[in-house]
Amino acid sequence: MAIQQHIIEQLLLPNGGKYAVHTIPDAYAFCKSISTSHYENFPVGSVLVGKERVHHFHAVYAFARLADDIADELQLSPATKFEYLTSLKTQLSEPTSKHPIFVALNNTRQELNIPYTPFEMLLQAFILDSDFKQPETWDDVLFYCKHSANPVGEIVLRIFGECNNQTIGYSDAICTALQLTNFWQDFSRDLPNNRRYIPKSVLRNQNLPETFLDSVDFYTKFPVETQNLLQEIYQYTTELYRQGSRLIDVVSSKRLKAELAATIAGGTLILNKSKKLGLDIFSIRPSLSPLHSIQLLVRTLTYYSKGHNTKL
């Protein structure tokens, strides 16, 4: 769910327009208001991370949400989106900014000694998104995820002080899986807007023409091939969750273990709901309702206790 248009318009003004802040607590309070008013498949700064860290999560989420909405939600030309996203990069390193998101984010960066790189990579992904082109191969998809999703995992690891070569590798697998899950979940929204995240190589794999997704009723013309296509992309995503779930076994923080378990549980639950929809996934967007809370809790506890041995 996007930030409301009138709020985005203010946040694109110098110092955040009427939302300019003069204290760090006010900046974090604003970021919290953004984080807690938006639905995601995974917990954003949930109680699992602890009170001492939750404000950092809100700052990171607010930054990513704003950039994502500029790239995806605003009816602007690619050139204008590029201009706005570039301005975010400038404010990221502007110590005198009174912009609520960047006051909070820069304070988080300084407190935790987080480099600029993951934030810059996120902005690069949103710039790519603002001038979307269907990927040719899985490598193209992974390149996008490397910028759009994986930096978030790195930032989370740094917030917990658990960032190293081993944890980064597992984290990348989880984040890429979450991004792919979101792609498949959003078929009904993205395809009408010509946003096709299935690589062309996968279409060719299933003997489908590259123009397959152009028609509104494409999946009714090739039902068997479409089912096979869905099976391929779901299996690819499931394997990434399986690889990444090893992260639960190697991190030390119990709170991070719990957050990871909840995140993977939410992602895999959505993926399984997508699978069960069959061809209806192209017209119905699966989501988690309050009724799924018990199922999500059971999955979370299972991941927490069994780690990568959990059956996906």
Among candidate residues 67, 57, 56, 55, the one with its CA nearest the CA of residue 92: 67
Query: For residues 279 and 219, is the Cβ–Cβ distance under 8 A?
Result: yes
Same domain membership, residue 147 and residue 103: no
Same domain membership, residue 310 and residue 247: yes
Query: For residues 288 and 296, is the Cβ–Cβ distance under 8 A?
Result: yes
75: left (phi over 0), alpha (psi -120 to 50) or beta: beta
- In this predicted structure, what is the pLDDT of residue 37? 77
Residues across the chain: 312
- In this predicted structure, what is the pLDDT of residue 278? 95
Kindly report the CATH number assigned to the domain that includes residue 82: 1.10.600.10
Q: Final residue of a domain: which of 100, 131, 162?
A: 131
Same domain membership, residue 218 and residue 142: yes
Cβ contacts of 91-96, under 8 Å, gap ≥ 24: 92/116, 92/119, 92/120, 92/123
- In this predicted structure, what is the pLDDT of residue 45? 44
Same domain membership, residue 30 and residue 48: yes
Query: For residues 81 and 130, is the Cβ–Cβ distance under 8 A?
Result: yes
Q: Final residue of a domain: which of 131, 165, 182?
A: 131
Name residue 179's amino acid: Q
pTM for the model stands at 0.85
Q: Identify the segments of the chain with pLDDT beneath 70.
A: 1, 38-48, 216, 291, 293-294, 296-297, 299, 303, 306-312
Same domain membership, residue 215 and residue 117: no
Q: What is the pLDDT of residues 173-191, one digit of tens each?
A: 999 999 999 999 999 999 9
